[in-house]
Structure 1
C-alpha cells in the first residue's frame, strides 16, 4: 500500500471503473473501455497459466474478430512456445511482472503468422501477476489501423499495469459483487476497519461513484451529516481526497492477492 497522503492517480486512480467492476458480468467491457481511454489499447486477452503446465483463456475483448480462436489456439498449444514464458515463470513472487517490449523476431515463424500476421496485430504489451499456483497473464494489443503503441502509451501501460493485473486476478478469483468486496475490506482490513460503521458506509458509496447528495439519499441522512462522516473518515485515514481513498483500497486488494 502507498504511504498515506500521496496521490493515487499515478498508482491506478484512473482505472477506477475497472476496479469497481470486479465481480460484475460487464467486467470485460469495462476493462477494455478503460484500457482504450488510458492507453489506446485495441484488444485485451487474459490467460491463466499454472505451474503444472495448463493454460486457459479467461478473457477476450476488443477489436480482433478472431480473438476467441487465438485464445483457444494459445491455450491449447502455443503457450508452450511463447517467448515470454521464461520471464513469466521466473517471476513467481506475487509482484507485478511487466514483460519485454514486443519484437517480431522474438516469435517463431508459425507463431508469428497465426498470432500477428493473420490477425492483423502489429504491437503488443503485457503484464502478469502470480496468485498461488496461477499466473494471470494480461496481454494488450494494437492492430494495423491503430499503429504501434507510442512512447506515451507504453509508459501509461507500465504505470497502470499493476492495478490492471490485480483487478483481473481479483475478478477471476471471486464472483462477489463490488459492494460486497468493499464491505469485506472495510470490515476486516486496517486502516479501513478503524472507521465507524457509518464512516465505512459513506466511504464505500464514494468508491462506487456516488455524489454526496446521492449518498445522503441512499443512506437517509442529511447532506451535512454525509460531509461530516466523510471528513472524519478522511482524517482517520490521513488522506484528503477520493483518489487517496481509492489508493488505499487498491493497495489492500493487490496485497490480498499475494
Structure 2
C-alpha cells in the first residue's frame, strides 16, 4: 500500500555530516545501517539504480542478518518485477520522489515472500525512490518490527540525504553538459587558463583521452598534451583532478 510521509523531522546535522564523510569508503553502508537502526530499528538495507532500458544494478547493501547477499541476488535476478514498489515506480515522473511501505501480506509470489521476507523474519519494507532523467534510484529499509508514523518520518529524512548521495555518485551523466559545466567553472575559478587550456582540462576531468579530446577540438594528441601540461604548470598541479576542489559548489 502506498503512503505519503509529510513534514519529515530533520536529520541530526552531525549524523548527516558523518554519513557524508564516509561516502566512497567501506564504512558507508555500515554507518548508514547503524544510523537507520538507531532511528527506526532497521535490520537490513538495500539500494539500487535502474537506468531506463537496462536491468537494475545494486549499489549498496548491508544487514545485521545472515544471507543478505543471497537475498540481493535473488531479488535482482528473480523477484525484482514482482515488487509492489517497482509496479508503483512506473507512475513516477522525472524530478519526483516516492515512498512506499510494503508489508509481508503485500508480497504475492510465494517464493519471493518466503525467501526475502518470511525466512529472515521481516514484517515490512520501506522503499524510498527518486526518478531522474533516464534513471530511477531506490533505497529500501527492511524491518522485523512494524513502524509508526513518527519513525517513518525520521527515516524519510535519512533516506532523502542518502538518495542525494546516490544521485551524486551513481546517476548517469550527460557528458557534454558536464564538460560545459566544467569549462564554466574553470573560467570562474582559474581565470589564468586560456580558452584552449580550459577546453582540454574540462575534458580531461571528464575522463576523455588525449586522442578523443584532439578529435573533439581539431587538435593533435600531442597538442592536447601540451595544453594540458601548461595548464597544470600554472598552478603546480600534477593531474586533472587537482582542479576539482575549487570546482565543486
TM-score w.r.t. the length of structure 1 is 0.57
Deviation at residue 12 of structure 1 after TM alignment = 6.6
Deviation per CA, 1:79-123: give whole Å up to 9, x if none. Answer: 111111122222242333212x22223211222111111122122
Task: Assess if the C-alpha contact under 8 Å between 1:15 and 1:34 holds in 2.
Answer: no
Alignment partners' CA distance in 1, 2:93 and 2:72: 23
Report the 3-state secondary structure (helix = DSSP H, G, I; strand = E; otherwise coil) of the residue aligned with 1:77.
helix
Report the 3-state secondary structure (helix = DSSP H, G, I; strand = E; otherwise coil) of the residue aligned with 2:102.
coil
How many residues get paired? 169
Number of the residue aligned with 2:209? none
* 1:148 equivalent among 138, 141, 146: 146
Alignment partners' CA distance in 1, 2:149 and 2:82: 28
Report the 3-state secondary structure (helix = DSSP H, G, I; strand = E; otherwise coil) of the residue aligned with 1:90.
coil
Alignment partners' CA distance in 1, 2:41 and 2:89: 24
Number of the residue aligned with 2:88? 87
Task: Assess if the C-alpha contact under 8 Å between 2:125 and 2:140 holds in 1.
Answer: yes
Deviation at residue 70 of structure 1 after TM alignment = 0.9
Alignment partners' CA distance in 1, 2:12 and 2:80: 29
The 3 A distance-change label for structure 1 pair 134 and 122 is same
Task: Assess if the C-alpha contact under 8 Å between 1:98 and 1:161 holds in 2.
Answer: no
Superposition CA RMSD, Å: 3.0
Alignment partners' CA distance in 2, 1:26 and 1:92: 33
The 3 A distance-change label for structure 1 pair 89 and 12 is farther
The 3 A distance-change label for structure 1 pair 21 and 96 is farther
Number of the residue aligned with 1:104? 104
Return the structure number with greater relative CO, CA threshold 8 A, min gap 6.
Answer: 1
Alignment partners' CA distance in 2, 1:12 and 1:171: 22
Deviation at residue 61 of structure 1 after TM alignment = 0.5
Alignment partners' CA distance in 1, 2:50 and 2:21: 25
Number of the residue aligned with 1:204? none
Establish whether residue 159 from structure 1 lines up as the match of residue 157 from structure 2.
Answer: yes
Deviation per CA, 1:52-88: give whole Å up to 9, x if none. Answer: 1401222211212111111111111211111111222
What stretches of structure 1 of length at least 5 have no aligned partner? 1-8, 175-183, 194-252
Deviation per CA, 1:183-224: give whole Å up to 9, x if none. Answer: x99x95xxxx9xxxxxxxxxxxxxxxxxxxxxxxxxxxxxxx
Alignment partners' CA distance in 2, 1:30 and 1:11: 14
Task: Assess if the C-alpha contact under 8 Å between 1:47 and 1:55 holds in 2.
Answer: yes
Establish whether residue 20 from structure 1 lines up as the match of residue 18 from structure 2.
Answer: no
The 3 A distance-change label for structure 1 pair 129 and 59 is same
